[in-house]
Amino acid sequence: METRLQELRARLQEIDDLNSAAAVLGWDQSTYMPPGGAAARARQLATLSRLAHMKSTDPELGRLLAELMPYAEQLPYEHPDAALIRVAQRNYERMTRLPTDLVSEIAAHTAASYHAWTQARPANDFATMLPYLERTLELSRRRSFLPLSSRNRGLMPYLERTLELSRRVADCFPGYEHPADPLIDFSDYGMRASVIRDLFARLRAGLTPIIRAIVAQPPIDDSCLRQYYPRNDQLAFGEQIIRRFGYDFERGRQDLTHHPFATKFSVGDVRITTRINEHDLGDGLFSTLHESGHAMYEQGIEPAFEATPLCNGVSAGVHESQSRLWENLIGRSRPFWEHFYPELQQTFPQQLGNVPLDTFYRAINRVQPSLIRTDADEVTYNLHVMIRFDLELALLEGTLKLRDLPDAWNARYAEDLGVTVPDYRDGVLQDVHWFGGLIGGAFQGYTLGNILSAQFLAAARAAHPAIDDEIGRGEFATLHGWLRENIYRHGSVFTPTELIERAAGGPMQIEPYLTYLRTKYSAIYGIDLSS
Amino acid sequence: METRLQELRARLQEIDDLNSAAAVLGWDQSTYMPPGGAAARARQLATLSRLAHMKSTDPELGRLLAELMPYAEQLPYEHPDAALIRVAQRNYERMTRLPTDLVSEIAAHTAASYHAWTQARPANDFATMLPYLERTLELSRRRSFLPLSSRNRGLMPYLERTLELSRRVADCFPGYEHPADPLIDFSDYGMRASVIRDLFARLRAGLTPIIRAIVAQPPIDDSCLRQYYPRNDQLAFGEQIIRRFGYDFERGRQDLTHHPFATKFSVGDVRITTRINEHDLGDGLFSTLHESGHAMYEQGIEPAFEATPLCNGVSAGVHESQSRLWENLIGRSRPFWEHFYPELQQTFPQQLGNVPLDTFYRAINRVQPSLIRTDADEVTYNLHVMIRFDLELALLEGTLKLRDLPDAWNARYAEDLGVTVPDYRDGVLQDVHWFGGLIGGAFQGYTLGNILSAQFLAAARAAHPAIDDEIGRGEFATLHGWLRENIYRHGSVFTPTELIERAAGGPMQIEPYLTYLRTKYSAIYGIDLSS
């Protein structure tokens, strides 16, 4: 049995090495790669993805797992070997549903699509991309262009193909209740569209009166954030904060990109990226805090799980609970800034020397319905997510056509957030997800994460009431320790549902999150938001 | 036949994709990777290397090549298909000699060894590396440590293993005249130790009187170079020079590292690295010019060769001819600086505003026997190479033991260059090659490149006498065009010998190089060096 386990580990390690190599190539593509490298990089990523998929679906791996299953079943549920065999078996079953060619097509398509998006979004005018697209995207050549205006005809073929590939992925898992379910299952294992729809409906019912009450108040002046803040000072300040959080720079680093992300090449190399706006202090700083939460989760996984499928955060929702917890529940909290604001003032004396803490604290927590998800405050943020979630479902159902997507997007933004979308750039093109992945399962995790972040922090506080005092002293060891002990170290040993029950002491529920928002924003806006 | 050719291309592309992915991981390892990533990176590189080797030695590839051989033989020698099949067959024969396990061991070992070297060299004290080494280098665990002083016992096991692996590689090619021959053949196809020994002996006979005459002169004052030159200004100046040379930043970029190198991920993504010493202007600038020569060679290869074995520079010697040509024959020439020195003075007015061109020109061409190969002037540089070449041969022969290597190194530096080696850091540990590759075949290319650089430039001048005037105007299009036409674009279509004969109009010979040195340094030192 030990020999078979070793063979399993060797096979899983090889798969992990290929996936990690692809992660390095993807990181480079998003940070440093010159434009001329794009076509070959898409091909290289497709090759790595195809080889990883071939090895993930090798019938020999299936036979090995079948032989090991009886051994796993006699072990305690939490035993690392049992968890390894269980999770590897689950992945094997899932991966064998997807044809290797489809996986390879998706990899090549998403790399090319991502690159096109990075070029096209800043320009807001995709017609100029056409010669490039026609030259490099072999897949697109086979498709006729849609009868769209010249202003967005460049990216539309990519989206068409993304939707087609997404549907083909869903159809590899027949028997679904909703075509989004298999795609949601990839990112939030065990979740379904119907469950999320219900959860989101209840959350929306709780959020709407909060937002309505806040919007009725005079808007907060956040002009103190919109001064000139030099890039390097911003980077240094953010990095010293996340070092205090417990992000380990010996096992990671931060670089600049278009659309920030965290990525892992090994448990000893978990990197984050950010972007800096020299005229908006919040943009880069809170992006850094956000990505550090994702990265600390991955850095905190039990090192013995390295190079196995256990060495991954368990779901998009739980992952996002960590980024949102560190970014918002800690990084936008009053006790946090009571400690760090003097340091920020020292870093930017001309900009903030005469700005009182209260003004700054209110500025970074200003609630204002807006256009851009990643710039949104933590209350209206969820409305951005719900719009995308609903549109994804409609696209997959076929009740919404892609050519009508921009109009549908704009209509929902007018209706839900009361804002007018001026262009594609700050509208339907703002997020990388549909241009660097699939349509379906891409967004629900953000709001699941918000919900969970409040549950987890409440559980940590219940176990360690001193946490709030420590945050006020700029210390995070107890909180980080609780998260590592109860969430991070487990990697994918438990299912998301199991992990949430163990860490939060019960199933996912929206009340702690709504209570958190009501308490915080009652104080900030001086109103009574208690329901 | 077209189907078989397509299959050949697909197989070669897959191998190239794996090798290119490994190149990206290697670049990252040398530029941005945090220390915690080292162990996993070594494993990932080993996996990519093993998979590439398995695919390079797949018997199906051998059968395919055998089927295509008759087709290739009926084509003209220079036909791209003929060249592709010929070079792929040559590589296949070579690769099938090397067991996959050995290739994988070498990859893992060199990655770990390289990382250890980057840590150990600055410290000059390797004992502190020991806990790390013991933890990460599984291969080393099986070996007992040599009875060495605590000051260098950290890296010695790596070197022992490197030499062992190098001998095992040589032994995969029985029938060699010298054990270095198979290793030399990898980097300079068609060359042998005996031929190089003879060539180097004749070159040494020509160099010795030149160096003796120069050293008898009063030393040139190069203190103007050793002022404070801020890093970013140095980088920007070097980059604008190589942009003028014709290095394409749309298809490349420059980053910082310990030991500069050029690397290619595709014909559209050829990167260089440099290092900056803020107290020595020459260090970073000439490194940048040097690596740009390597990179322009790779950027200039016929794009249709992409992802095949034809899409590589043909040999270490020809490659080095390009780095040395752009660095020295152009970048340290009088006409070049007559144009660029005013720009350099504008960049560094405080440092160079009052320094005459002649003082600067003499400073960058100061001949002074010294410790460090990469800092050496272009005359004594060849002595550094010959020392390493001779030591490599002796180590492989077994006439020199590794434990005696530092003493042998120091003795040769005293004898050949008249300098005393003060420590390991600036002695036997100064070059990455033995710590990031094999022993044997690593150094001869540098001096072969010096020899060839003068031959190629003479041929280009003969074809286009206006080249010198253009250089004096800061224009390089004619020279770059001649090099691209006669060398770069061909990739590996011809053998090194064939390419040299075609481009230089005859076989490799040392006279143009000696003539170049005699003419240049007679003028600089005001002496008669004509032999």
**ipTM confidence:** 0.85
Only one residue has tokens 């940590």, namely A460
Q: Which of the two residues, A265 and A437, has the higher pLDDT score? A: A265
Mean pLDDT along residues A132-137: 34
Which uninterrupted H or E stretch holds A266?
A: strand A262-266
**B-chain residue closest to A266, CA distance:** B40
A 233-292 residues with CB < 8 A to B: 248-253, 255, 265-269, 271
Active site residues of A: 291
Count of C-beta atoms within a 10 Å radius of residue A455: 24
Subunit contact B43:A307, Cβ cutoff 8 A: yes
Active site residues of B: 291
Subunit contact A39:B13, Cβ cutoff 8 A: no
Contact status of B213 with chain A (Cβ, < 8 Å): no
What is the pLDDT at residue A154? 64
Q: Band the pLDDT of A124: cuts 50, 70, 90.
A: low
Subunit contact A34:B265, Cβ cutoff 8 A: no
Q: How far apart are CA B56 and CA B11, in angstroms?
A: 8
Count of C-beta atoms within a 10 Å radius of residue A138: 12
What is the pLDDT at residue B507? 95
- Using CB atoms, which residue from B21, B253, B307 is nearest to A34? B253
Instruction: Choose, out of B14, B18, B47, B232, the residue to mutate when testing the contact with A (most A CBs < 10 Å).
Output: B47
| Cβ-Cβ contacts under 8 Å, A262 against chain B | none
Which uninterrupted H or E stretch holds B397?
A: helix B381-397
Tell me: the pLDDT tens digits for B510-525? 999 999 999 999 999 9
Contact status of A11 with chain B (Cβ, < 8 Å): no
Subunit contact B47:A250, Cβ cutoff 8 A: no
Q: Copy the structure tokens of residue B398.
A: 């077994």
pLDDT mean across residues, chain A: 90
What is the pLDDT at residue B154? 65
What is the pLDDT at residue B124? 57
Number of residues assigned to chain A: 531
Q: How far apart are CA A476 and CA A292, in angstroms?
A: 13
A 335-354 residues with CB < 8 A to B: none
Q: Which of the two residues, B500 and A120, has the higher pLDDT score? A: B500
Tell me whether strands B254-256 and B262-266 are parallel, antiparallel or unpaired. Answer: unpaired
Only one residue has tokens 């070049």, namely B336
Count of C-beta atoms within a 10 Å radius of residue A277: 16
pTM, to two decimals? 0.87
Instruction: Choose, out of B12, B16, B17, B58, the residue to mutate when testing the contact with A (most A CBs < 10 Å).
Output: B17
Phi, psi of A273 (to 5 degrees): -130, 155
Q: Copy the structure tokens of residue A359.
A: 């003004």
AA letter at B522: S
What is the pLDDT at residue A436? 76
- Using CB atoms, which residue from B34, B268, B306 is nearest to A250? B34
What is the pLDDT at residue A116? 77
Subunit contact A269:B34, Cβ cutoff 8 A: yes
AA letter at A490: H
User: Does the pLDDT value for residue A125 go beyond 80?
Assistant: no
Contact status of B40 with chain A (Cβ, < 8 Å): yes
Identify the DSSP state of B35.
Answer: G
Mean pLDDT along residues A387-407: 93
What is the pLDDT at residue B247? 98
pLDDT under 50: residue ranges of chain B:
125-153
What is the pLDDT at residue B114? 76
Tell me: the pLDDT tens digits for B388-446? 999 999 999 999 988 889 899 999 999 999 999 988 888 888 887 888 778 999 899 99
What is the pLDDT at residue B281? 97
Subunit contact A37:B251, Cβ cutoff 8 A: yes
- Using CB atoms, which residue from A25, A248, A251 is nearest to B21? A25
Only one residue has tokens 């790399």, namely A111
Phi, psi of A266 (to 5 degrees): -175, 170
Sign of the CA dihedral with A38 first, then A95, A10, and A307 last? positive
Show contacts of A124-129: CB within 8 Å, 24+ apart: A124/A151, A124/A423, A124/A424, A124/A425, A124/A429, A125/A151, A126/A151, A126/A152, A126/A153, A126/A154, A126/A155, A126/A156, A127/A151, A127/A153, A127/A154, A128/A154, A129/A154, A129/A155
Closest-CA distance, B131 to chain A, in angstroms, reads 17
Straight-line distance from the first to the last Cα atom of chain B, in angstroms, rounded to the nearest whole number = 58
Q: Which of B140, B133, B137 minimizes the C-alpha distance to B157?
A: B140
Q: Which of B338, B387, B329 minimizes the C-alpha distance to B361?
A: B338
Subunit contact B43:A248, Cβ cutoff 8 A: no
User: Does the pLDDT value for residue A506 go beyond 60?
Assistant: yes
Straight-line distance from the first to the last Cα atom of chain A, in angstroms, rounded to the nearest whole number = 58
Only one residue has tokens 């300040």, namely A237
Subunit contact B269:A14, Cβ cutoff 8 A: no
Subunit contact A44:B51, Cβ cutoff 8 A: no
Q: How far is CA A26 from CA A34, A440, A473, B362, in A?
A: 13, 21, 38, 46
Closest-CA distance, A530 to chain B, in angstroms, reads 48
- Contact call for residues B294 and B322 (beta carbons, < 8 A): yes
Count of C-beta atoms within a 10 Å radius of residue A25: 25
Subunit contact B41:A265, Cβ cutoff 8 A: yes
Subunit contact B44:A33, Cβ cutoff 8 A: no
- Using CB atoms, which residue from A28, A248, A268 is nearest to B28? A28
Contact status of A24 with chain B (Cβ, < 8 Å): yes
Closest-CA distance, A1 to chain B, in angstroms, reads 23
Subunit contact A269:B37, Cβ cutoff 8 A: yes
What is the pLDDT at residue B123? 63
Beta bridge partners of A254: A272
Q: Which of A50, A12, A54, A100 minimizes the C-alpha distance to B17?
A: A50
* Contacts across the A-B interface (CB distance below 8 Å): 129
Count of C-beta atoms within a 10 Å radius of residue B241: 23
What is the pLDDT at residue B106? 83
- Contact call for residues B335 and B471 (beta carbons, < 8 A): yes
Q: Which of the two residues, A359 and A111, has the higher pLDDT score? A: A359
What is the pLDDT at residue A140? 27
Subunit contact B36:A306, Cβ cutoff 8 A: no
**B-chain residue closest to A40, CA distance:** B266
- Using CB atoms, which residue from B22, B24, B36 is nearest to A269? B36
SS3 B214: helix
| Cβ-Cβ contacts under 8 Å, B251 against chain A | 34-37
Contact status of A100 with chain B (Cβ, < 8 Å): no
Tell me: the pLDDT tens digits for A141-165? 222 222 233 334 467 778 888 999 9
Subunit contact A250:B38, Cβ cutoff 8 A: no
AA letter at B352: L
| Cβ-Cβ contacts under 8 Å, A253 against chain B | 32, 34
Q: How far apart are CA A154 and CA A131, in angstroms?
A: 9
**B-chain residue closest to A255, CA distance:** B32
- Using CB atoms, which residue from A13, A35, A255 is nearest to B250? A35
B 53-92 residues with CB < 8 A to A: none
Contact status of B303 with chain A (Cβ, < 8 Å): no
Q: Which of B438, B396, B401 minimizes the C-alpha distance to B148?
A: B401
Q: Copy the structure tokens of residue B357.
A: 């061109």
Contact status of A397 with chain B (Cβ, < 8 Å): no
Q: Copy the structure tokens of residue B355.
A: 């320094």
| Cβ-Cβ contacts under 8 Å, B132 against chain A | none
Left, alpha or beta for B464 (phi > 0: left; psi -120 to 50: alpha)? beta
SS3 B150: coil
Instruction: Choose, out of A9, A14, A17, A49, the residue to mutate when testing the contact with B (most B CBs < 10 Å).
Output: A17
Subunit contact A47:B268, Cβ cutoff 8 A: no
Sign of the CA dihedral with B459 first, then B462, B464, and B466 last? positive
Subunit contact A40:B266, Cβ cutoff 8 A: yes
Tell me: the pLDDT tens digits for A187-208? 999 999 999 999 999 999 999 9
Contact status of A303 with chain B (Cβ, < 8 Å): no
Contact status of A147 with chain B (Cβ, < 8 Å): no
- Using CB atoms, which residue from B17, B35, B248 is nearest to A44? B17
Q: How far apart are CA A442 and CA A451, in angstroms?
A: 17
What is the pLDDT at residue A515? 97
Q: How far apart are CA B5 and CA B3, in angstroms?
A: 5
Q: How far apart are CA B291 and CA B282, in angstroms?
A: 14
